Amino acid sequence: MDLGIKGKRALVCASSKGLGRGCAEALAAEGVNLVMNARSDGPLQETAQAIRDAYGVEVTAVAADITSEEGRGKVLEAAGQVDILVTNAGGPPPGLWKDWDREDFIKALDANMLTPIALMKAMLPGMMEQGWGRVVNITSQSVKGPIAVLGLSNSARAGLTGYVAGTARQVAEKGVAINNLLPGIHATDRAISLDTGVSKAQSITMDEARKQREATIPARRYGTIEEFGAACAFLCSQYSGFIIGQNILLDGGATNVTI
Ligand code: NAP
CB atoms within 10 A of CB 112: 28
Residue 199 near ligand 1, beta carbon < 6 Å: no
**Interval between CA 238 and ligand 1 midpoint (Å):** 27
What pLDDT does residue 71 have? 98
- Answer for the pair 31, 6: CB distance below 8 angstroms, yes or no: yes
What pLDDT does residue 150 have? 93
Gap between the Cα atoms of 43 and 196, Å rounded: 22
- CA of 63, closest atom in ligand 1: 20
What pLDDT does residue 96 have? 93
Catalogue the E-assigned strands of the chain: 9-12, 33-38, 59-63, 84-87, 133-138, 176-183, 247-250
- CA of 15, closest atom in ligand 1: 9
**Interval between CA 194 and ligand 1 midpoint (Å):** 13
pLDDT (average), residues 163-180: 98
pTM of the model: 0.98
pLDDT (average), residues 114-118: 98
Residue 115 near ligand 1, beta carbon < 6 Å: no
Among 23, 35, 36, 39, the mutation site with the greatest number of ligand 1 atoms within 8 A of its Cβ is 39
pLDDT (average), residues 127-152: 97
Q: Does residue 11 register a pLDDT over 90? A: yes
Domain boundaries, the chain: 9-184+224-249, 186-222
DSSP 123-171: HHHHHHHHT-EEEEEE--GGGTS--GGGHHHHHHHHHHHHHHHHHHHHH
Encode 182-199: b = buried (16+ Cβ within 10 Å), e = exposed: bbbbbebebbeebbeeeb
CATH code: domain 9-184+224-249 is 3.40.50.720
pLDDT 10s digits, 228-242 = 999 999 999 999 999
Per the prediction, the chain carries an average pLDDT of 97
Q: Does residue 194 register a pLDDT over 90? A: no
**Interval between CA 168 and ligand 1 midpoint (Å):** 24
Residue 180 near ligand 1, beta carbon < 6 Å: no
Give residue 18's pLDDT band: very low, low, confident or very high (50, 70, 90): very high
**Interval between CA 184 and ligand 1 midpoint (Å):** 13
Among 62, 190, 194, 251, the mutation site with the greatest number of ligand 1 atoms within 8 A of its Cβ is 190
Q: How far is CA 47 from CA 110, 116, 130, 172, in A?
A: 26, 23, 30, 33
Residue 67 near ligand 1, beta carbon < 6 Å: yes
Residue 189 near ligand 1, beta carbon < 6 Å: yes
Q: Does residue 203 register a pLDDT over 90? A: yes
What pLDDT does residue 17 have? 98
Q: Does residue 225 register a pLDDT over 90? A: yes
Give residue 210's pLDDT band: very low, low, confident or very high (50, 70, 90): very high
Among 70, 137, 188, the mutation site with the greatest number of ligand 1 atoms within 8 A of its Cβ is 188
**Interval between CA 225 and ligand 1 midpoint (Å):** 12
pLDDT 10s digits, 46-100 = 999 999 999 999 999 999 999 999 999 999 999 999 999 999 999 999 899 999 9
